[in-house]
Amino acid sequence: MGTAELIWNGVAAFLVMSIYSFLYKDNPFYKFAEHLVVGVSAGYFAMILYYNAFLPKLINPLRAGQYWYIIPGILGLLMWARFSQKWQWLSRPTLGFVIGSGAGVAIPLYLQNYVIRQVHATMLPIGFTSWPLITNVLIIIMVFCALAYFFFSKQHKGAFGAAATFGIWTLMVGFGAGFGMTVMGRVALLAERVVFLRDYFAQLWGALF
Amino acid sequence: MRREIPIAICFLVGISFILEYFIPHEDVLSIFETIRQWAIIVIAFAYVLGIANLVRINSHVIQRKGRDWPYKIILVVSLFFMITVGIIFDIFGIRLGGIGEGTIFGWVYFHAQYPLQATMFSLLAFFIASAAFRAFRIRTFQASLLAVTAILVMIGRVPVGESLWADFPDFIEWIMNVPQLAGKRAIMIGAALGAISTALKVLTGLERTYLGGE
Amino acid sequence: MPIISSAELQIQSNNEFFPSNTNVKSNPFFKVLFLFLCFLLIDSPLSFAAEDLSESWFNPNRLNMLIFLILFFAVIIYFIQRAKKGKSLFIRRIAGLDAIEEAVGRATEMGRPVLFVPGIEDVNQIQTVAAMIILGNVAKMVADYDTPLFVPICRPFVVPVAEERVKEGYAAAGRPDAYNRDNVRYISDEQFAYAAGVQGIMLRDRPMANLMFGSFFAESLMLAETGFLTGAIQVAGTANIHQLPFFVVACDYTIIGEELFATSAYLSKEPKLLGSLKGSDLAKAIIIGILALGAILETLGITQFTRWFFIE
Amino acid sequence: MRKILEKLESLDRRIIFIFIGLSIAIPLLFPVYTDFSVTAPVEGFYDAIEELSPGSKVLVSCDYDPGSMPELFPMNVAVFHHLFSRGHKIIVMQLWATGTLLAERAMNEVLQEFPDKRYGEDYVNLGFKEGREVVMVSMGTSIPKTFPTDAQGTKLEEIPLMQGVTNFDDITILMNISGGLPGTKEWVLQVQSRYGVKLGSGCTAVSAPEFYPYVQSGQLVGLLGGMKGAAEYEKLVQRPGTAQRGMDAQSVSHIVVFLFILIGNIAYFSVKGKKKRLKVSR
């Protein structure tokens, strides 16, 4: 490993430690790292959009004679009308375009995947003769009650209230499970950082002595 | 007019995307592919607004010598540094310009941005522990359900859980596949209905607050 | 100060379609459900044969989706129209609204800032739109007091929308002068850089109320834990199921899934839009009916009903 | 005693932080390798590859970034290893710009064990393509049109492996290493549901619960969730890697978190009655 690499990794290790110093309390090192990551990442995204969206999707098609790409160009430029107090309403058509496309794409997909598909998957054969069938009964009851919790037309009172309460219990068990499942992934992230620091200090040790 | 045209555009674009879902014709698919690309272009243009906002607010602080102003200088300088080495250098053909491995941009990415990002992310290992310590108290029945399931799943997922009870992983699978799945399904169904009705209100112009005042 | 004025008027205990005292024949809930179920007992015409559809103008395998979509749209529009005609609709009060009011109230009382985090997705994500609707009302509540409202933003496209909403909120409260454009801040598109920036605001501007609404990912717990450290009252709401556990654990109040959209419907300028909640409730009631029927038929080995809900 | 308990009840979070840090660092420096069993979704993932006839063309989409690398990189390596060891051909692609470098790194690591695998014949890297779902859908129409060249700029028609590959019909199975969005969800919605291609997923532990319904509904042949999933898979393919090594750190840190929750509860019940600030739910 060359000296340059060692220095660069040293910079990285320093930044890693600066972020961890936040765990003790807010301090100048953390402030430095925080402002640096905001600045660098903003610049990074400018670049990604320039090289992956602006150039290949607008400039190159226009150069290739696909003049209809002028439409998104204009829609994009209209956004810059926001810089002027007087003309900023010009940016609204663009806003309409972006929000409209988002909503239009979302509607059928949400219905398909989050409603119909889930409904289909819940229509399970039920019974009390075998464990899988009992499990299906449980799933259906839990889905019912959790859905009842999301009813806005009725106060959570009486039998309906009891169902909604069982629904919220189901949700709580689900949330607990989600939390428990995640601990592992987060620990893995820290483990990777620990390995990075360990390797760096081993290298530094090797280079110095 | 200043509201009607945007709403009309929103409606037309939205409805055509809904229709596209039902039309398998390849010509239609390719037209809509192009329109989807347009959205990416438009978003790229809007990025300039973001940069302008960032620079404006931070330079205000620097000018007024507001709180933490030296740090704001670091922020603005690092922003322009990245843009300079990434785009300006590349346009003028200066060595090590552009993006990718082996450029200045690449070095900064791998030795500053990536470690910073990954370290920020890994802070969650600490936070998840402190949140668990604080919140998982057996206070109410609901809180206990939350806490007990979390603890069971947590322990059941690691090898040590299995050595405590051989069927632990199966039990965890059951929790994931029955109560967890049922709760999630209900949330999914409800949230999707809510999202669709909100989207429908937006498309039809019934909900137009996003356009702002006159 | 109340955020709901006109919408509140709609809340009278008149039950629309739920069978408390209504007679079954005139109840639209039963009518729609009955017709719908009759229709569905016919065998599904969907074949899902692997044919080449690249030249056809309609995908026959999505016929069921088309029917469901039209039905759902009709239900939503029907109830909105009904509300517009002045028919009173009963909608229970959503507890999340009180939580928002309380948090903002406490912050303004103490003269400490309010922080509104609208998630990290772009404005074409419906959750962000819902967050923006809520933001306008929060601005209205804050406007009367001279406490700043910070809105850190992750996607540039959200900046103009948020600016407009905050400005409008201040104007609606009669305080257009109090609007400070510098408080709607773009931070970074990068998730964790954004989280770092928001943490910075939490640590140094010490907001008393952290409101987090929209589409959140891994940064949720980072924000909520740092917010807890600074002693803020935190109310969060998202439909991103994977992040709900963290908000539930670390925030004082969590608005779950559909409640986010319901809250935004409540806070919309048009109280009539609450009608959509009724529509979505009817849809849920029908879904419960369908599920029950589907499970029973499936148990009896009758599958044509279930097949209507199959999507390739 | 009461004082100690009160202290413990509202323990300074920095003490928790120190313990968590140590519980992860120490086992990583001195690993023990504890044993564990394999869960069904991982088994499904493994079996799906085992069942393919040798020489099958497998598409691997590496859609992750350095942020999710700790969990996903070991999976990626294991998947490549498994595919090569069964004699399959690998077509690599990325929908995340940041995935390119990681996929290359994973491939290079595996190639050291399979030095006779040739680029263009046994594996090919189509590179990164911007456009998220659009790319997925357009691949359904034509892969050569979506990716006219591979990552190095070679025309697809000049690559032997890509002969006869026009769309998803020519791919036996698709393996997605997914760090977020676009990822497994989009592959399921846009590709699996439209084109019916077999799909397996390796994802982060956070998103795993979200994808379980897909496994149950058969839309995913299998699922590797987080480091645990990776470790189980590493065990099945008999190639111990970073995931298996990390499992010790996982065990210890999970126990530490558990102990803290226990201490918190004991202290809480001992000094009960104090006003509580936090309400978990309504």
Closest by CA to B37, choosing from C121, D178, C56, D137, is D137
- Per-residue pLDDT band for C12 (boundaries 50, 70, 90) equals very low
Q: Do B140 and D11 touch (CB under 8 A)?
A: no
Residue with more model confidence, C303 or D172 = D172
Q: Which two tokens stand for residue A39?
A: 């600045």
Give B27: exposed, middle or buried? Use CB within 10 Å, 0-12, 13-18, 19+.
Answer: exposed
Q: Do D228 and B33 touch (CB under 8 A)?
A: no
Select the residue from D223, D250, D260, D282 to test the A interface by mutation, using most A Cβ atoms within 10 A: D250
Task: Tell me whether the omega of the peptide bond preceding residue D182 falls within 30 degrees of 0, making it cis.
Answer: yes
B–D: how many Cβ contacts below 8 A?
129
Average confidence (pLDDT) over D110-122 = 91
Q: Is the pLDDT of residue D133 over 80?
A: no
Which range has the top average pLDDT, A190-204, B31-45, B71-85?
B71-85
**Which residue in chain D has the smallest CA separation from A191?**
D24
Q: Which two tokens stand for residue D125?
A: 């890297």
With H, G, I as helix, E, B as strand and everything else as coil, classify residue C41: coil
pLDDT digits (tens, 9 = 90+) for D49-89: 999 999 999 999 999 987 788 889 889 999 999 999 999 99
Q: Is the pLDDT of residue C7 over 50?
A: no
Q: Do A176 and B146 touch (CB under 8 A)?
A: yes
Q: Where are the beta strands (DSSP E) in chain C?
A: 114-117, 149-153, 184-186, 209-213, 233-238, 253-256
Asked if D92 is an interface residue toward chain A (Cβ–Cβ < 8 A), one would say no
Chain A residues 111-170 within an 8 A CB cutoff of chain D: 112-113, 117-118, 121, 168
Q: Which two tokens stand for residue B46?
A: 């809007």
> Which residue among D40, D228, D261 sits closest to B133, beta carbon to beta carbon?
D261
- How far, in Å, are A100, B135, C24, C252, D38 from residue C31 at the CA level? 33, 47, 8, 42, 51
- Per-residue pLDDT band for C312 (boundaries 50, 70, 90) equals low
pLDDT at residue number C48: 56
With H, G, I as helix, E, B as strand and everything else as coil, classify residue C312: coil
Q: Which two tokens stand for residue D219?
A: 């839309």
CA distance D236 to A201: 34
- Per-residue pLDDT band for C14 (boundaries 50, 70, 90) equals very low
Q: Which two tokens stand for residue C27?
A: 């109840």
pLDDT at residue number B57: 95
pLDDT digits (tens, 9 = 90+) for D8-23: 888 899 999 999 999 9
pLDDT at residue number D132: 76
With H, G, I as helix, E, B as strand and everything else as coil, classify residue D37: coil
Helix, strand, coil fractions of chain B, as percent rounded to 5: 80, 0, 20
Asked if D256 is an interface residue toward chain B (Cβ–Cβ < 8 A), one would say yes
pLDDT at residue number C226: 95
Tell me which residue has tokens 């409008």.
C168
Chain C residues 258-277 within an 8 A CB cutoff of chain D: none
> Which residue among A111, A147, A155 sits closest to C284, beta carbon to beta carbon?
A147
CA distance C185 to C181: 8
Domain boundaries along the sequence of chain A:
125-204
- Read off the amino acid at residue B139: R
Tell me which residue has tokens 């939580």.
C99
Tell me which residue has tokens 């609208």.
C118
Average confidence score pLDDT of chain A? 91
How, if at all, do strands C253-256 and C184-186 pair? Answer: unpaired
Q: Is the pLDDT of residue B61 over 50?
A: yes
- Per-residue pLDDT band for D281 (boundaries 50, 70, 90) equals very low
CA distance D98 to A93: 33
List, in sequence order, every residue forming a beta bridge with D176; answer none if it has no partner: D61, D201
pLDDT at residue number C17: 42
Output Rg (C-alpha) for chain D, integer angstroms. Answer: 22
pLDDT digits (tens, 9 = 90+) for B154-182: 998 887 888 888 888 889 989 988 999 99
pLDDT at residue number D149: 84
- Per-residue pLDDT band for C55 (boundaries 50, 70, 90) equals confident
Asked if C253 is an interface residue toward chain D (Cβ–Cβ < 8 A), one would say yes
Average confidence (pLDDT) over D253-282 = 75
pLDDT at residue number C43: 65
Look at A34-38, A146-150, B52-56, D274-278 and tell me which has the smallest mean pLDDT.
Answer: D274-278
Q: Is the pLDDT of residue B94 over 60?
A: yes
Tell me which residue has tokens 């019940």.
D269
pLDDT at residue number C46: 64
pLDDT at residue number B158: 82
- Per-residue pLDDT band for D100 (boundaries 50, 70, 90) equals confident
Looking at the complex, report in whole angstroms how far the Cα of residue D165 sits from the nearest Cα belonging to chain B.
19
Domain boundaries along the sequence of chain B:
1-87, 90-123
**Angle, CA of A19, A22 and A25, to the nearest 5°:** 160
Select the residue from C67, C190, C241, C298 to test the A interface by mutation, using most A Cβ atoms within 10 A: C190
- Per-residue pLDDT band for D193 (boundaries 50, 70, 90) equals confident
The count of other CB atoms within 10 Å of the CB of residue C310 is 16
Q: Is the pLDDT of residue B1 over 80?
A: no
Under 8 Å between Cβ of D203 and B168: no
> Which residue among A47, A147, A179 sits closest to B82, beta carbon to beta carbon?
A47
Under 8 Å between Cβ of B129 and D16: yes
Under 8 Å between Cβ of D205 and D225: yes
Helix, strand, coil fractions of chain A, as percent rounded to 5: 85, 0, 15
Tell me which residue has tokens 């799933």.
A139
Under 8 Å between Cβ of C216 and C198: no
Asked if D58 is an interface residue toward chain A (Cβ–Cβ < 8 A), one would say no
Q: Which two tokens stand for residue C246?
A: 């963290």
Instruction: Give the list of residues 6+ apart from residue B10 with CB closer than 8 angstroms, or none.
Output: A96, A97, A99, A100, A103, B202, B203, B205
Q: Is the pLDDT of residue A4 over 70?
A: yes
The count of other CB atoms within 10 Å of the CB of residue C81 is 12
pLDDT digits (tens, 9 = 90+) for A136-145: 999 999 999 9
Length of chain C: 312
Q: Do D254 and B155 touch (CB under 8 A)?
A: yes
**Which residue in chain A has the smallest CA separation from B155?**
A180
List, in sequence order, every residue forming a beta bridge with C152; answer none if it has no partner: C185
pLDDT at residue number C1: 35
CA distance D216 to D201: 13
Average confidence (pLDDT) over C264-281 = 84
Closest by CA to B146, choosing from D263, C218, C234, D265, is D265
- Read off the amino acid at residue D120: G
Q: Do D101 and B155 touch (CB under 8 A)?
A: no
Measured over the CA atoms of residue A124, residue A128, residue A133 and residue A135, the dihedral's sign is: positive
The rounded Cα C208 to chain-centroid distance in angstroms is 24
- How far, in Å, are B27, B157, D24, D245 from residue B160 at the CA level? 57, 8, 15, 14
pLDDT at residue number C162: 95
Give the CATH class of C95-267.
alpha beta
Tell me which residue has tokens 């110095």.
A208
Which residues in chain D are closer than 8 Å to B169, comparing Cβ atoms? Answer: 36-37, 39
Neighbours of chain C (3+ CB pairs under 8 A): A, B, D
Q: Is the pLDDT of residue C18 over 60?
A: no
- Read off the amino acid at residue D96: W
| 3-state helix/strand/coil string of A149-165 | HCCCCCCCCHHHHHHHH
pLDDT digits (tens, 9 = 90+) for B8-26: 999 999 999 999 999 988 8
CA distance B54 to B25: 44
Q: Do C242 and D280 touch (CB under 8 A)?
A: no
Q: Which two tokens stand for residue C204?
A: 């140094």
Q: Is the pLDDT of residue C39 over 70?
A: no
- Read off the amino acid at residue B82: M
DSSP C93: P
Look at C253-257, D161-165, D213-217 and tell me which has the smallest mean pLDDT.
Answer: D213-217
Asked if D193 is an interface residue toward chain C (Cβ–Cβ < 8 A), one would say yes
Chain B residues 38-97 within an 8 A CB cutoff of chain D: 40
- Read off the amino acid at residue A70: I
CA distance B76 to B59: 8
Look at B69-78, C42-51, C181-190 and tell me which has the smallest mean pLDDT.
Answer: C42-51
Average confidence (pLDDT) over A8-15 = 93
pLDDT digits (tens, 9 = 90+) for C141-186: 999 888 899 999 999 999 999 999 999 999 999 999 999 999 999 9
pLDDT digits (tens, 9 = 90+) for D261-274: 999 999 988 887 54
Percent of residues, chain C, with pLDDT higher than 70: 84
Q: Where are the beta strands (DSSP E) in chain B?
A: none
Instruction: Give the list of residues 6+ apart from residue D273 with CB closer than 8 angstroms, or none.
Output: none
